[in-house]
Structure 1
Amino acid sequence: MKNKILIIAGVVALIVIAVLVLNWSKTMAPTGEVPAGGTGTTGGEQSAPTGGTGNTTGKSPTPIVKSAITVTAPLAGAKWEIGKLNTISWSRAAGVTGIIYLMSAAGQSIGVILPTFGPDQTSYNWDTTYVSVSATNASRINVTPGDYKIRLAFSGNNLPVTDSGVITLLRSGTPEAVTTVLMQNYAFVPNNFTVSKGQKVTFTNKDSVQHHLAVTAILNSMPLNPGESYILDTSSMKAGTYNIYCDLHPDMVGKITVK
């Protein structure tokens, strides 16, 4: 009796082992077999993601970045008189249309200077008396004295918006309270300004090259290396207009009027 029980138990054990082996073999894919719907890879390579192309170098692809367009006029620190024509210019044609906005120094929109500029356009003469409410509303908003930025926004969003530096718009006939003049991009910024007799004006070289500051009949030639400044004291200057220029760069000229 005991022998029969042992035989039956042995048979059951063999059946269980056979079932386990069969199930295990089904879960193992044969060597070199490709899963249904896929493609084989060799040498440990990875296939390209769906809809993409393979990257054989292993490096991330370099994104295409649109080159920015910069505002070339006005430069930061410029002082424009309200009610006069002033030229806004930018570095190159955008190839698309766009809008020119007047922004506060903090970046809030004041109004529209030009509702649309052409794809080949690189400048615009703006009557600083007013701006429009929007690109589609020509109602005028009078410009008031203060600090502003000029913004170029391009249609199609294929180029980033670009802002000028902060400029000052002054009421017509108001003397400009200039205390700092930048020597930047081979120009004086501002290049025509008025000061009261006794006022001190600081000239600062913002370029990467040396400039030689000169003021007619006042200062012969003052070398200024990049980052250096010179303070001009107008206390001894008579009322009148004086030429300012750089001895090294003939096109770098301006005027200072002392009252």
Structure 2
Amino acid sequence: MSSCVICRRAHRDRGDAHRTACDRCEHRIRGWLREIPRQLPLLRASLALDGGPAQGRPAGRAHSPLPVRGDVLDLLGPAAPGPVRDHRGDQSGTLPVLATVYAWAEQIAAARGRDLPPFRPRDDYTRYIAAHLNYACSQVWITDLHTELGEAVHAARAITRTEPRRRPKDAPCPGCQAFALVEEDWQPYIECGTCGLLLSHDEYVAHHRAVMPPLYRTALRLTLHQAAHNAPEDEPK
């Protein structure tokens, strides 16, 4: 057993003694990588300012206002042709989404001693990172990748108002038996909020078919027993 450098939870080694991130955090990152290409068109649709007049603003301006939203423009900024990591902390605000993705693709390619393929469109670099994520999860800098991709996704969600839905599942967790299994948009696994267990959709369906019919029968027997117990007794003649 070892501890994940991201969430600090203990996780089982999978035969790779150098793995630093747990399966749970890896799949969270994979969900973000699938979500980013879906967020980009929504961000572009959010770029234009509202057409109505500004309320409570002074009539005169020294400079004309931007015709588009600056916060959205920041996120949609183009990816640089090289690494754009802000190690000195000079960047204010959120880095452009594609610049963040491109920088991490560069990081992974350089760490593996490979050339980065010239993908078009550039959001395809999310697929490159996903293809090499198992390798990244054995590196100490996986915490930085997790943090920066998470910040990019949450900044996009705040603008597009597309916070993923969380849907509780009926069946109890097969690991801890708690009724805490949750399915979240864009995530490939159903997760237990109590013990962190991950189930694929096929695994959950099989688990549901195995455990829910007995639970339904037990609930029905308890309901009938309670109803019989609460039934009024016949009045004496």
TM-score by length of 1: 0.20
Q: Which has the higher contact order (CA 8 A, sep 6+)?
A: 2
More helix, by proportion: 2
TM-score by length of 2: 0.21
